[in-house]
Amino acid sequence: MPEITGLRHLGILVEDLARAKAFYESVLGLVPHPARPTLPYAGEWYELSDGRQLHLMCLPNPEAGLVRPEHGGRDRHAAFAVASLESLERALESAGVSYTLSKSGRLALFCRDPDGNALEFVQTGV
């Protein structure tokens, strides 16, 4: 049996790269990683503080038109650690991005990016 030792990166499909970059960079504060190789599709890579990466891939969405659950915690989602939910809430509210708090009572919230991808943010170090 192979031993899985960690998660290296997460790939997310986006329809409009400029719109997605505006969200991930302006709202969430991610910085593009300069080492993305030339690939046959547009995209952006972001280095997260823990050495893992988030890859945006501008490719056709095979699930276009699919109705997703309102609460991202009941949908497939990517989860990210944040130092402060309060500062994230302010950034999301300022950008007009709706979110829901975790239904479990944890210090976490869920939102969707402009392409409908569900994202979870969990406050760490409390």
Identify whether the C-beta of residue 54 lies closer than 8 Å to the C-beta of residue 45.
yes
Looking at residue 52, its pLDDT comes to: 93
Q: What's the rounded mean pLDDT across residues 44-55?
A: 92
Asked, for residue 98, whether it belongs to a domain, the answer is yes
* 69 token code pair: 């659950």
Q: What is the pLDDT of residues 7-39, one digit of tens each?
A: 899 999 999 999 999 999 999 999 999 999 999
CATH of the domain at 74: 3.10.180.10
Q: What is the pLDDT of residues 58-73, one digit of tens each?
A: 998 888 888 888 888 8
Looking at residue 65, its pLDDT comes to: 83
Looking at residue 89, its pLDDT comes to: 96
Q: What is the mean pLDDT of the chain?
A: 93
Asked, for residue 26, whether it belongs to a domain, the answer is yes
pLDDT band at 4 (very low <50, low <70, confident <90, very high): confident
Spatial distance between the Cα atoms of 37 and 10, rounded to a whole number of angstroms: 16
Identify whether the C-beta of residue 19 lies closer than 8 Å to the C-beta of residue 114.
yes
Residues in the chain: 126
Asked, for residue 34, whether it belongs to a domain, the answer is yes
How many independent structural domains does the chain possess? 1
Domain range for residue 114?
9-60+69-123
Looking at residue 50, its pLDDT comes to: 77
Asked, for residue 44, whether it belongs to a domain, the answer is yes
8-state DSSP, 88: H
Looking at residue 72, its pLDDT comes to: 87
Q: What's the rounded mean pLDDT across residues 100-123?
A: 94
Looking at residue 126, its pLDDT comes to: 57
Asked, for residue 118, whether it belongs to a domain, the answer is yes
Asked, for residue 3, whether it belongs to a domain, the answer is no
CB under 8 Å to 6, separation ≥6 — which residues? 52
